[in-house]
Structure 1
Amino acid sequence: MSAEAENDQESVLLVSNDGFQFLVKKSAACKSPTIRSMLDKRSNFAEARENRIHFENMTAPVLEKVCQYFYYFDKYKGMKDVPEPDFISPELALELLFVADFLDC
């Protein structure tokens, strides 16, 4: 299997509405049931075929925090005493709540 094909299986490209791209481990991004559904090969969504999701409703700073959350959740998965995340700024908190609702996480 080529490195590109292997990367296709392990990562997904998330793109903000202002064009910033974040390459994220698929296992971390699939914390979101919404993203998991979009990437399901059986769905026949363009996102699943292209392994790329463009979020029209997210700016780069917001999508960056979403990606940080995915990795934070992945890091502490299965642990009982998870520290509070310290990377969410008050300026983005409301917008992140809306995004969390959209992503179902």
Structure 2
Amino acid sequence: MVNQELNQSKYVTLVSSDGFEFVVLRKAAMISPAIRGMLDPKSKFAEAQSGRCHFPEISGLVLEKVVEYFQYWYKNKDREEAPEMDIPVDMCLELLTAADFLGLDNAT
């Protein structure tokens, strides 16, 4: 029996409501409990098979910032002091909504 984790791509694709696609390092995207659940091979979700997660409720602009956060988090996760991440004030509400949906408010 082949280990399913060995068959998984190093990257996943996140697709926004307006069709923008973002290719992200799988390990970085796994900070989101929602994405982790979608990609779990045991879940039998289509996303686990395809490595593509569709978010019909998140726009491309917001998902781009979420992806930027995933990369920021992955790069700085072991640092005691990380540089500040720029978050546009006009996107705060949408980013909070997306973060809540993705479970990032509880992520460690």
Q: Fold match, TM over 0.5?
A: yes
The CA deviation string for residues 21-66 of structure 1, in whole angstroms up to 9 with x for no partner, is 0011100101111101100000001110111011000110000000
Does residue 76 in structure 1 map to residue 76 in structure 2? yes
Query: Using a 3 Å threshold, how does the CA distance of structure 1 residues 21 and 7 change in structure 2: closer, same or farther?
Result: farther
Aligned to 1:93: 92
Identity score, percent: 49
Within a 5 Å distance, the mapping from 1:36-51 to structure 2 comes to: 36-51=36-51
Root-mean-square deviation (CA, aligned residues, Å) is: 1.5
In the alignment of these two chains, the number of paired residues is 99
Q: Structure 1 pair 7/24, CA: closer, same or farther in 2 (3 Å)?
A: farther
Higher helix fraction (1 or 2): 1
Tell me by how many angstroms 1:83 deviates: 2.2
Summarize the Cα distance change of 1:65–1:42 in structure 2 as closer, same or farther, 3 Å threshold: same
Q: How does the TM-score come out when normalised to structure 2?
A: 0.87
Q: TM-score, normalised by structure 1?
A: 0.89
- The runs of 5 or more residues in structure 2 that have no matched partner are 1-5
Deviating 4+ runs (over 4 angstroms) = none
Secondary structure in 1 matching 2:9: helix
